[in-house]
A = this chain, B = another copy of it.
Amino acid sequence: MSLQTTRDTCLARDASDPLRHLRDEFALPDGVIYLDGNSLGARPKASLARAREVIEAEWGDGLIRSWNTAGWVHLSRRLGDLLAPLIGAGSGEVVVTDTTSINLFKVLAAALRQQQSTAPERRVLVSERDNFPTDLYIAEGLTELLKMGGGAAYELRLIDSPKELPQAIRDDVAVLMLTHVNYKTGYMHDMAGVTALAREAGALTVWDLAHSAGAVPVDLHGARADFAVGCTYKYLNGGPGAPAFLWVAPHHQNRFWQPLSGWFGHARQFAMEPAYTPADGIGRFLCGTQPITALSLVECGLAIFRHTDMAALRAKSLALTELFIQLVEARCGQHPLILVTPRDAAHRGSQVSFEHPQGYAVMQALIARGVIGDYREPRIMRFGFTPLYTRFVDVWDAVEALRDLLESGAWDKPEFHQRGAVT
């Protein structure tokens, strides 16, 4: 961007954007600029007809028979195979199931147990203090539970900056658990470099791809990662709370055991045996019966990615975030906004976060004007850019709305300071 950027030059960029037709796949409401696909992705148009088919034909008419005839029994694996290419994984390595929190519990337990059998002195999980809280809570829950056994305790070692990683990953570390792109700052780790660091130190790596899958190129095989989890309701546009995903490196799959060993993970599910025998491969990371209606809609989001590739999406994503940063700094520069997202593209996901002393109220006022981002404690306004449907002119208009609010002080009204259940 240069100082010559205008609304018209943004419109021109949209007109020549090779991905512009992908926006037609989404049902976006009029009068809204949606910059929160990093929290809940927009609705693929196809989802309504698919829901009708699942509810009327598969559930209503097919009834119990649809477990076979509509393929419900294999749906978690089939969707996993569709998702795999977006994260550098192969067929038979991914399942779409349960929630990110639950899946994290499975892989953390699997990793710790595996380490215990070969390196029982490794009793530390390393993560970041500003990792997404549920990741830390799940690690805490698992380590608390393991204290019940009465043996040596596990410790959660939290670092305050990625720079501390080399010192933190010592020979007492069992597992390194990181979120690839930070939910708050948008900072993106060098997955290959960090994974190599962990592997050399003898630690297993668990990557949370909640803010990566569908947003930035991910190469789990290339990085030689061990485990990954993530969600489908952000950049993959699977629907509110849509089931999450879980990946295990193929050479690990049959070595690992996980404790949420429900019947969908059994080698012979319908033999109804009283003892558990894990299925071969990724299937052993399944647990209970999945919410088929919600699970089915994940396919509508994944299908859109067939029309493009992650390299093209990344190029547009960086162009959008770059433009947003430059426009905010050029046009709102006199206001107390602090960029917390890396300027270095190599460390930036597909969101941009700015701190503002009254970030909550400013964001509520923006939302009231139809520019939807969100807020995260403390003081952070988040703006997510989804190259599948965000236009360059949306960036321009969003910055103008922000500028107008800050100039006029119109954000400083009681209603914008009031807190909802979800902030």
Contact = CB atoms under 8 A, between A and B. Distances in A.
Interface of A: 27-29, 32, 34, 36, 39-40, 42-43, 47-48, 51-52, 54-56, 58-61, 63-68, 72-74, 98-102, 105, 109, 112-113, 116, 129-134, 136-138, 140-142, 144-152, 158, 184, 231, 233, 239-244, 257-263, 265-266, 270-276, 287-295, 297, 367, 372, 374, 376-377, 420-423
Contact of A137 (B40, B137, B145, B266): B266
B270 A377 contact: yes
Given A151-B150, A270-B422, A145 B113 contact: yes
24 contacts: A28-B60, A29-B63, A34-B63, A40-B59, A59-B239, A65-B367, A68-B420, A73-B422, A74-B421, A112-B148, A116-B148, A133-B274, A138-B262, A146-B146, A148-B151, A240-B289, A241-B292, A244-B288, A270-B377, A272-B377, A291-B291, A291-B293, A291-B294, A293-B297
Contacts of A66: 240
Count identical subunits in the complex. Answer: 2
Given A74-B421, A129-B274, A259 B292 contact: no
B151 A262 contact: no
B51 A55 contact: yes
Q: Which of A112, A150, A273 has the most CB of B within 10 A?
A: A150
B145 A421 contact: no
B48 A102 contact: no
A365 to B, nearest CB: 14
Given A39-B64, A272-B377, 20 more contacts: A27-B56, A43-B60, A55-B297, A59-B239, A67-B421, A72-B240, A99-B287, A101-B263, A116-B148, A129-B274, A138-B262, A144-B257, A145-B259, A147-B149, A149-B150, A158-B274, A270-B377, A270-B422, A293-B293, A293-B297
Contact of A136 (B231, B240, B275, B293): B275
Contacts of A130: 274
Contacts of A272: 133, 184, 376-377
B105 A260 contact: yes
Nearest to A262: B101
Contacts of A275: 136, 140
Contacts of A288: 98-102, 134, 244
Nearest to A291: B294
Contacts of A74: 421
